[in-house]
Amino acid sequence: MFGRLMTRLRECSHSWSAYRRYTSVTAEDVTAFRAIVGPNGVQTDGLDAYNTDWLKTHTGHSELVLRPKSTEEVSSVMSYMNERGLKCVIQSGNTSLVAGSVPIDNEIVLLMGRMNAIESLDTASGILVTQSGSVLQTLEEYVNERGFIMPYDLGAKGSCLIGGNLATNAGGLRFIRYGSLHGSVLGVEVVLPDGQVLDLMSQMRKDNTGYDLKQLFIGSEGTLGVITKVSILCPLKLKHQTVALLSLKSYDHLLKIYDKIRRQLSEYLTSFEMMDALSLEAVVKNLEQSHPLGSHNEFYAMIELSANDKDHMESRLSQVIEELMSEQLISDGTYANDDNHNRFLKLKSYRERIAEGLLRDGYSYKYDISLPLNVFYEIVEVMRERLKDTDCLKVVGYGHIGDCNLHLNITSKAFDKRIKTTIEPFLYEYVAKHKGSISAEHGLGLMKNSYLKYSKPVEAIALMKQIKKLFDPKNTLNPNKVLPND
């Protein structure tokens, strides 16, 4: 009884109100978990880093972080939590941009990073089998050495884990060439909310036997099960990569070169990104980098080409660029091939570090939308106009123009409610009007679950709720996220 009193007093001291949203973790629970994952797998102190998301939009109040090493440990942990009515948020690299993997309140954080064993890579087929806690960059380097690449790539690759990438159906920079994880993932092993291990692992390219359940977990954002193992198809690594940065006068110019490059370099093209002047400025000024071109312009395209024959690829690229320059569609530019790896990576970093650069402004309001190409950039200008009387610092647009996916970002020194209400729900209504997606690749998480109705019909949302109830009747995993709360 004294134990329970102490727990209650401890609970009170963590916040002004004694109310904690979810069932609290007790000392007995901690002991039980320690028996499952070992003393090194339990952490009750110094949890700040796990309680706050990368964008610093939300801080939870978790008092317990667990680090399982194996599927069996995950299964035992889940089964215990489910029985006790405890809530759990699964966290990989904590790189979610919608606060999807931090506790809302006092959920237990299940950290997947210890489960990072790479099990096998079949060099004949390119099929990689790995535990879900492997860092994407580690996997990329591993398969690179053996003649393959991962089918997807993101700026967060140094921190994100493959399990989290699958849970969010990560898109990224190679999407234009290699498509969605729904296509490249061949199998998963998942621990269901009640602890049951569901073996959907496969190393077969084709398997049309029954409903393809793994597709439900891909993109489920940790609400239907814990992904513990992945088998994924890796494309062949082509010998040479070249990245080109081109500067353009207007969005219209960009659309024209996109069309030409897409057609004429289709066999080489692995990435086609765009950034506007302010996005590049965020990297150059905020991260103190030298300007890659020495001349400023309104828009930039960053394209990546891959081929086995370097000379052929570069001569084609240079032909196309010469034509575009003579047609005055490109103002300036540069390109670097990966023979000089340092320079190659540095040039790519001007695109990959935009989010990091913007964060230095203070607070970022991030929107990740799909829109048809003809109105793709219009929303940035509309927003700029709408926000001109507020304290916002920048309104920028950049992203995967090849996939019609715009990252619209607004920054200010600190969170400003007026800015937020000027943006939302106007932005979502605009997207809905153009039949776009309110979240192209970032998912819904905590920040966008109420807006699902702008992209999916009522009947679809009702079915999603039924599916959630079927997999997770006690709502153990990632409660109050992804699906709307009404």
Binding site for another protein (CB under 8 A): 145, 245-246, 290, 292-295, 318, 321-322, 325, 330, 332-336, 338-343, 347
Task: State how far the Cα of 200 lies from the Cα of 229, in Å rounded to an integer.
Answer: 9
Least Å distance, CB 219 to another protein, is 34
Rank residues 192 and 347 by Cβ distance to another protein and give the closer one: 347
Q: Least distance to another protein from the beta carbon of 83, Å?
A: 37
- Residue 25 is classified by DSSP as P
Nearer to another protein, 17 or 326 (CB): 326
- Shortest Å distance, C-beta 99 to another protein: 36
CB of 322 to another protein, least distance (A): 7
Q: Exposed/middle/buried for 113, CB within 10 Å: 0-12, 13-18, 19+? A: middle
State the Cα torsion 437-443-447-452 to the nearest 10°: 40
Pairing status of strand 240-248 against strand 226-233 = unpaired
Q: Point out which residues pair with 412 in neighbouring strands.
A: 363
Beta bridge partners of 453: none
Close Cβ partners of 410 (under 8 Å, ≥ 6 residues apart):
364, 365, 367, 383, 387, 392, 394, 395, 396, 419, 423
Rounding to the nearest 10 degrees, give the CA dihedral for residues 113, 119, 124, 125.
-50
Please give the structure tokens belonging to residue 7. 């727990």
What is the smallest separation between the CB atom of 39 and another protein, expressed in angstroms?
A: 15
Other Cβ atoms less than 10 A from the Cβ of 215: the count is 15
> Is residue 444 within 8 Å of 405, Cβ to Cβ?
no
Instruction: Pick between residue 47 and residue 287 the one whose CB is nearest to another protein.
Output: 287
Question: Minimum distance between the CB of residue 304 and another protein, rounded to whole angstroms?
Answer: 15
Element (H, E) at 111: strand 108-111
Query: Which CB, 293 or 467, lies closer to another protein?
Result: 293
User: Which H or E element spans position 122?
Assistant: strand 118-122
Between residues 142 and 426, which has the closer beta carbon with respect to another protein? 142
Cβ 328 to another protein, closest distance in Å? 13
Minimum distance, C-beta of residue 346 to another protein, in the bound complex (Å)? 9
- Measured CA to CA, the distance from residue 198 to residue 202 in angstroms comes to 12
User: In this complex, which beta carbon is closest to another protein, that of residue 239 or of residue 435?
Assistant: 239
**Nearer to another protein (CB atom), residue 300 or residue 471:** 300
CA–CA distance, 279 with 350 (Å, rounded to integer): 9
The nearer residue to another protein, 320 or 410, going by C-beta atoms, is 320
β-strands 65-66, 108-111: how paired? Answer: parallel
